[in-house]
Copies of this chain bind each other. A is one copy, B any other.
Amino acid sequence: MAGVKDVARLAGVSVATVSRVLNDSAPVTEATRVRVLAAVDELGYRPNAVARSLRTDTTRTIGLVIGDILNPFFTELARAIEDEARASGYSVVIGNADERPERQDHYVRTLLEQRVDGLLLCPTAQITPLVRDVVSGGAPLVFLDRTLPGLDVPTVRADGTAAIGALVSHLAGLGHRRIAFVSGPALLSTGRERTAAFTAALRTAGLPVRPEYLEAGDFQAASGRAAAARLLDLPEPPEVIVAGDNLMTLGALDEIRARGLAVPGDVGIASYDDVPWFTHVDPPVTAIGQPVQELGRRAVRALLERIGGRPVEPVVLDARLVVRRSCGEPGAQGNESEGSGRP
């Protein structure tokens, strides 16, 4: 494949000049510029980003390690990140951790070896030694969606405390008293916080906190289904199940459906995370939506700041409740106005 040298020879200039034209890093006569560009065109020259990166020690690439590529929350996030990064001239390399620490580490390692300029990480439950190394190693790093306790890394995430409060009071208003929550892994901030917010909200609403109604899953569909099964097998099953993310909601719906139970007649369901198809489920699922686009944008901006060597503040945005019909008839609260769910 043709290189700068070939271009230089064909255009009758030096390699330095070719480089200058291509990056306009220094003034160049119009005449030589057109000669060089003509040569580039003629040879079908494509700059070798590998060589460039080696020399400049910058790849204009950021790494993104997400929890699960099959989870629409993460793909929407990835998409937003990608858009924002491209606008700033950066490419994004996505790694799918599949919620497994060793796979997360695999990608963190690979991305660092590829010398990405910075790393956006949705950390899995465990703090691995590698992650600890990276943090102390000082590579530009931003946590996304989740924090890890005890690590000093800027984080961009949504806080659902207020929305969960609104959800519980909505449920109480519908007359429900037995409300169960299927949380994520306790090690994850998103797991702990949502559980804490939920129990606090129960207390505020004057409802009892029953330990048997607090289940934990791993943010994957199967665990949601298993948790729902355990809840429904209780001598006094809950009236409503709130699942901690959209995949566990899917799993819970599977279990409910497999048992032939009616929603919300036999049991109601609500989800943390909103996804487009919730509108089409029978009945449409009440959910807490996160400002995914904004999360992605802010994450990229934060990371670029870090790459630029500037300090950044943590970013916390608010999630918001979207009332639909899966927990009972909403009465006067309903305030939906939705399109296809896709822009």
Interface of A toward B, CB cutoff 8 Å: 44, 46-51, 53-54, 59, 61, 69-70, 72, 75-76, 78-79, 82, 86, 91, 93-94, 96, 106, 109-110, 112-115, 133, 137, 220-222, 224-225, 247, 250-251, 253-254, 257, 275-277, 279-283, 339-342
In the complex, 13 of the A-B residue pairs with CB atoms within 8 angstroms, ordered by the A residue number, are A46-B109, A49-B110, A54-B54, A82-B96, A91-B110, A221-B341, A221-B342, A251-B342, A257-B279, A257-B280, A277-B280, A280-B281, A281-B281
Query: Which residue of chain B has the shortest Cβ distance to A220 in the bound complex?
Result: B342
CB distance from A340 to the nearest CB of B (A): 4
CB distance from A255 to the nearest CB of B (A): 8
Number of copies: 2
The answer to whether B254 and A341 touch across the interface, beta carbons within 8 angstroms, is yes
The answer to whether B50 and A115 touch across the interface, beta carbons within 8 angstroms, is yes
B residues within 8 A CB of A79?
A: 69-70, 96
In the complex where A50-B59, A79-B96 touch, is A342 in contact with B280 (Cβ < 8 A)?
Answer: no
- Tell which of B86, B282, B340 touches A221, judged by Cβ atoms closer than 8 Å: B340
B residues within 8 A CB of A75?
A: 69-70, 75
